[in-house]
Structure 1
Amino acid sequence: MPSRFPLDIRLIYVDPQAAQLSRGQDILNRFPDAQRIEVTSHQNIPGLHGNAGLVKDWLRIKRQVLVLGIRKTLTMRPNGRSADFIAPGMANGCALSCAYCYVPRHKGYANPITTFANIGDVDAALRKHVQRLGPKLEPNSVDPHSWVYDLGENSDLSVDALISDNVLDLVTLFRGLPNAKASFATKYVNRNLLTYDPQGRTRLRFSLMPASMARVVDIGTSPMPERLTAINDFVEAGYEVHLNFSPVVIFEGWTAAYTELFRQIDALLSPQAKAQLAAEVIFLTHNVGLHEVNLGWHPKAEELLWTPQWQETKRSEYGGVNIRYRRGLKGKAVERFTTLLRRELPYCTVRYAF
């Protein structure tokens, strides 16, 4: 069965500037029965952001609340792992509730989707940046021929496509850029994307983990069997499809669970999907603040994510206290994971692992 529809929008916080744009009007018309509250800034909404009392309503707010704003920062940030550049995203936050997601660390106790109406500004900024770069003359681990732009650093575009045509517009844009590709990771199977005709210019990265783990930490996402069976369909529809093993969580029996997952992948993929397959591997990084938030709405997840016996603290470049697997343990775990992956899926290129 397909995933349940993750949105039931009943309240929209609206920046008046966004409401004046055609895309903003389209979004408001898509949810005509929702209550509207005018706000001066999508980044600081009194009673929503920083309100510790809302944590008990974490899941409801994600499904029922939407923020409509204007994207003001249009810079392209160099990356070098999942993409050559991180593009200015057309949304921030998600209706899905993955317990390890880093976006809530910056929003506090409520993390609804903020979607942006000024798609024309982002489209123009992307075109200008791609044209200035010109052809990609030196292959790298991101892509041998094209400049790759990650469009969904802080959201899931498969869910964003339920809100507006922003995602369709971006896939259409990259279809016409011969020296660039779009890229985004997803945990939600939105089959409407199969009609977007990407013509190989959009890389979709399905995020995968053992189903037993996903049932605990990937709340609201498409079940793992649904994600796996969708891969062939998206390849056939013209997407480049990679695998995103992120985050890899260490637990008792984790190597056996991943071996089973790799074998499920191998059994399901078509020859066409296998021929273009690549993967990225990212082990879990947790956060002290997020741990406290999660204890308020989903403490069971923290039994898997917060394992001090295997973890150490490291202050992030932004000043937060992150929790990562201990250096020696993590190095061995990464080696073990990639060895298993290459053994079970020898045709799958490992783009990077850390």
Structure 2
Amino acid sequence: MTLLEVATIHAEPASLASARGQEVLARFPDAEVVEIDSHWAIPDLHGAEENVARWVRIKAEHLVLGEKKTLTVRENGRSADFIAPSTANGCAMACAYCYVPRRKGYANPITVFTNIDAIARAITRHHRKLGPKTEPTQCDPVDRVYDIGENSDCSVDARVSDNVADLVAHFARLDGAKASFATKHVNRDLLALDPRGGTRVRFSLMPRRDARLLDIRTDTIDDRIAAIDDFVAAGYEVHLNFSPVVLRERWQSEWALLLDELTDRLPEPVKAQAACEVILLTHHEGLHEVNLGWHTQAEDVLWRPEAQEAKRTGPGGLAGDVVRYRVDVKRRAVARFRELVARHAPWLTIRYAF
């Protein structure tokens, strides 16, 4: 199955009538259009347990159009200084550890938010209200960084609408601000844009054995590494997102090999502007149950009760707790990962690790 074979578009009336909504319809002229009251409540998709067996097919064949109602900019301090209002939610890829389905239940196709102009204005208002960034942060020493892809993969979103292209152009003109998103998909159409250093792309990488098991429907690790230099040459800042770090047998030696490969393959100009973030796996009881319905092999490494502990999150989403590695296990693993980077990729700054 190709990444997108859209057969059905579920659309809120306002989104259907919008210019962005009409643009999306034009990209998928053969799709059936079904009007819905809310992108959060689609009876045939959300909360229907029988959809687990069709987990991947739904991602490829269904698309949702809605409006982003809450245009709040949230503080972050890790991947970015702030999280911008989402321009999309969900993904056509099917990474076994993805946290987004926790809220959507048993189906997680892409939802495109069509009120892109309102989203861009909200970002601009927030940035200008704060004024220039006066102190460096681990996110960036100069620019205020806004994550624009918290709940989706912007490289895939750009195949569905021009939302991402619009934001890349927006941040190219917004002095003192920078967009940022992590991705597991190489969309070379983004190379034709003109980011002018105003967008940071964080290519997500992990050892190949982990990627083959867990990064379902994503581009290969080879393809992602090969694209890094091209994106830097096109005017993007490119960082690395080591996420998730899954603790299983040989994890240290396999990460060491990947770090050695990056040291050998990446040219010096790429290394000079690079930094990375390190995120150990978190998982979820509800997502664990979903995965058992379509990808049981993933749970052999993701679900490790002997090394994990529960972490209660806020209301909403799939039933159950978020689980993370026990504090003592995680502390040792983070320290060891820092040692691996220092030894095998000393040129690479770790912005944060947790």
- What TM-score, normalized by structure 2, do the two folds share? 0.97
SS in 1 for 2:293: helix
In the TM superposition, 1:64-75 aligns within 5 A as 64-75=61-72
- Choose the corresponding residue for 2:100, options 100, 103, 114: 103
CA distance in 1, matches of 2:35, 2:18: 15
CA distance in 2, matches of 1:106, 1:268: 39
- Post-superposition Cα deviations, 1:46-85, rounded to whole Å, max 9, x if no partner, equal 1210000010000000001000111111000000111111
- Alignment correspondent of 2:129: 132
Contact 2:2-2:60 within 8 A present in 1 as well: no
RMSD: 1.0
Identity across matched positions, percent: 56
Gap regions ≥5 residues in structure 1 = none
CA distance in 1, matches of 2:264, 2:315: 42
- Alignment correspondent of 1:330: 330
CA distance in 1, matches of 2:181, 2:308: 29
- Alignment correspondent of 1:18: 15
CA distance in 2, matches of 1:200, 1:158: 17
- Post-superposition Cα deviations, 1:157-203, rounded to whole Å, max 9, x if no partner, equal 00000001110000000000111000000000000011111111100
Q: Which runs of 4+ in 1 moved over 3 A?
A: 317-320
Question: Is 2:311 the counterpart of 1:345?
Answer: no
- Alignment correspondent of 1:154: 151
- Alignment correspondent of 1:230: 227
- Alignment correspondent of 2:263: 266
Could you say if the C-alpha distance between residues 29 and 42 of structure 1 is closer, same or farther in structure 2, counting changes exceeding 3 Å? same
CA distance in 1, matches of 2:175, 2:323: 41
SS in 2 for 1:313: strand
CA distance in 2, matches of 1:234, 1:12: 32
- Post-superposition Cα deviations, 1:292-342, rounded to whole Å, max 9, x if no partner, equal 000001011000100112212222244851111111111001000111012
SS in 1 for 2:309: strand
- Alignment correspondent of 1:290: 287
- Alignment correspondent of 1:278: 275
- Alignment correspondent of 1:188: 185
- Alignment correspondent of 1:321: 321
CA distance in 2, matches of 1:316, 1:14: 30
Contact 2:184-2:218 within 8 A present in 1 as well: yes
Could you say if the C-alpha distance between residues 94 and 128 of structure 1 is closer, same or farther in structure 2, counting changes exceeding 3 Å? same
CA distance in 2, matches of 1:34, 1:141: 44
Question: Is 2:213 the counterpart of 1:208?
Answer: no
SS in 2 for 1:101: coil
- Alignment correspondent of 1:168: 165
Contact 2:78-2:139 within 8 A present in 1 as well: yes
Displacement of 1:6 in angstroms is 1.1
Question: Is 2:81 the counterpart of 1:84?
Answer: yes
Contact 2:84-2:123 within 8 A present in 1 as well: yes
- Post-superposition Cα deviations, 1:138-158, rounded to whole Å, max 9, x if no partner, equal 011111001000000000000
- Alignment correspondent of 1:199: 196
Question: Is 2:310 the counterpart of 1:307?
Answer: no
- Choose the corresponding residue for 1:218, options 203, 215, 219: 215
SS in 2 for 1:97: coil
CA distance in 1, matches of 2:311, 2:77: 22
CA distance in 2, matches of 1:267, 1:211: 17
SS in 1 for 2:159: coil
Gap regions ≥5 residues in structure 2 = none
- Choose the corresponding residue for 1:50, options 47, 51, 58: 47
SS in 1 for 2:194: coil
Between stretches 27-36 and 310-319, larger displacement belongs to: 310-319
CA distance in 2, matches of 1:24, 1:299: 37
- Choose the corresponding residue for 1:35, options 27, 32, 36: 32
**Number of residues paired by the alignment?**
351
| Residue identity in the other structure for 2:333 | A
SS in 2 for 1:329: helix
CA distance in 2, matches of 1:345, 1:257: 14
CA distance in 1, matches of 2:49, 2:125: 42
- What TM-score, normalized by structure 1, do the two folds share? 0.97
Displacement of 1:5 in angstroms is 4.9
- Post-superposition Cα deviations, 1:234-291, rounded to whole Å, max 9, x if no partner, equal 1111111000011100010000000000011111101110001100001001000000
CA distance in 2, matches of 1:13, 1:166: 18
- Choose the corresponding residue for 2:119, options 118, 122, 139: 122
